[in-house]
Amino acid sequence: MKTVQAYRFALDLTAAQERAVLAHAGAARVAHNWALARVKAVMSQRTAERTYGVPDELLTPAMPWTLAGLRRAWNAAKADVAPWWAQCSKEAFNTGLDALARALKNWTDSRTGKRKGRPVGFPRFKSRRRTTPSVRFTTGPIRVEPDRKHVVLPRLGRLKLHESARKLARRVDNGTARIMSATVRRDGGRWHVAFTVDIDRADRRPTHPTSTVGVDVGITHLAVLSTGELVPNPRHLGDAQRRLRRLGRALTRKTGPDRRTGQRPSNRWQRASARLGRTHARVANLRRDGLHKLTTRLTREHGTIVVEYLNVTGMLRNRRLARHIADAGFAEIRRLLTYKTSWNGGRLIVADRWYPSSKTCSACGTVKTKLALHERDYQCGACGLVMDRDANAARNLAGLAAQPDTAGSGPVAGRGADQKTRPGGPVAVKRQPGTAPAGQTGTVPPQGGTTNHALTRVH
């Protein structure tokens, strides 16, 4: 199976190498800001000319927003804008121009309705102090050294890895992987290199191909499986709150930057800010590691996995639970399961957000009209079932896999939380276009299916 995969490794850079990488990241920022200034200037000029009644054919020529057009404009002006351009790789300037071209396209598609989701704003200038340094290489010598502890990048030369790249090197040597690009980026005070690889993955099958498991995510337990397993919630952010508060108070006592007066941050403020950033990065790494291990285990063991389509954005509006929901990573679990099921030959079923998995009795199929959040046990008034509400929801999710509407891996409809279902378990019925709803009906447009783009955690 052909797919695009990323391998990410930490770097151990010398002081000279770090200065060189920062110079390339700065070159990308300069090219981005220059091109954005030109685009805004041309837009403002054309708008002003229209107010004066100038015909469209006599307006100032529009500047192309494609990467090729921006690159042509930059090559024509780089000698005056950046006389030092020869000291950096051409890929550095291409990184900034490519980022601007993508941002302009996203803004245009959002305004015209081609892009779904939240409205995308117009691109903004990149700040030297607030922008994450990053540079991407797509051409030139990009390889892993035979010792598998060093990588070679254009103009940057030989860089030492903090960990072995044997997993990537083994695939490249066998001819099952081809490195397409490499991105050097600083996250949490540490430099990383991420290789985008076109890889040929071997076909795999889960350990139990006929096994079906329902996964109900929550805060008390990170995940409750229909098999009865309870996955504890590690609460990494909650455990680090004491240290984060202490580092935050220490940071406020230092002299920080002030945009109004142009005050520069002190060295102590920068060191304190770096300590705070490293703590946040550790929390994110711990969370990512735990989610990867959980989703990898589920996809390798079970042939069918059923999860809910949760409105995480709406859930985060609850100020009492927002921090705990974000710490658990509800949306990340579904994203990881999406591509890992395709990698391991499994099937992912996503239940509609209106499917009443918590309100439905897993024994008789009766649906409650209301179920308060503080009611942690589900009590069925029809059959007398009493069990944990999350375990009951997980069983209902697992039951969706046996229904005819779940032959594929798309969303399963289940609207109608205040109505009863027929005996034998919950039923999700899809309404055909042009027909009136009856009983439990409602459909949701497909959520895109599976994707092969992923980020692999490498040890």
Q: What is the pLDDT at residue 400?
A: 87
Q: What is the pLDDT of residues 28-43, one digit of tens each?
A: 999 999 999 999 999 9
Q: What is the pLDDT of residues 268-319, one digit of tens each?
A: 999 999 999 999 999 999 999 999 999 999 999 999 999 999 888 889 998 8
On whether the CB atoms of residues 429 and 355 are closer than 8 A, the answer is no
Q: What is the pLDDT of residues 42-55, one digit of tens each?
A: 999 999 999 999 99
Q: Enumerate the domain spans of the chain.
A: 2-15+133-200, 28-112, 206-231+281-459
Q: How confident is the model at residue 406 (pLDDT cuts 50, 70, 90)?
A: low
Q: What is the pLDDT at residue 192?
A: 96
Q: What is the pLDDT at residue 166?
A: 95
Q: What is the pLDDT of residues 125-158, one digit of tens each?
A: 999 888 999 999 999 899 999 999 999 999 999 9
On whether the CB atoms of residues 29 and 126 are closer than 8 A, the answer is yes
Catalytic residue list: 216, 308, 390
What's the whole-number mean pLDDT along residues 337-365? 91
CA distances, 405 to each of 216, 292, 351, 419 (Å): 20, 29, 11, 19
Kindly report whether the global pTM for this prediction surpasses the value 0.75: yes
Nearest to 199 by CA among 154, 169, 159: 169
Q: What is the pLDDT at residue 444?
A: 35
Q: How confident is the model at residue 426 (pLDDT cuts 50, 70, 90)?
A: very low
Q: What is the pLDDT at residue 405?
A: 60
Greatest CA separation found in the chain?
80
Q: What is the pLDDT at residue 266?
A: 94
Stretch among 47-61, 181-195, 355-369, 428-442 having the lowest mean pLDDT:
428-442
**Above 50 in pLDDT, residue 454?**
no
What's the whole-number mean pLDDT along residues 43-68? 91
What's the whole-number mean pLDDT along residues 258-266? 90
- Look over the chain and give the mean of its residue pLDDT values, rounded to a whole number: 86
**Above 60 in pLDDT, residue 386?**
yes
Q: What is the pLDDT at residue 6?
A: 94
Q: What is the pLDDT of residues 237-252, one digit of tens each?
A: 999 999 999 999 999 9
What's the whole-number mean pLDDT along residues 103-123? 94
Q: What is the pLDDT at residue 374?
A: 84
Q: What is the pLDDT at residue 375?
A: 86
Q: How confident is the model at residue 412 (pLDDT cuts 50, 70, 90)?
A: low
**Above 70 in pLDDT, residue 329?**
yes
Q: What is the pLDDT at residue 294?
A: 95
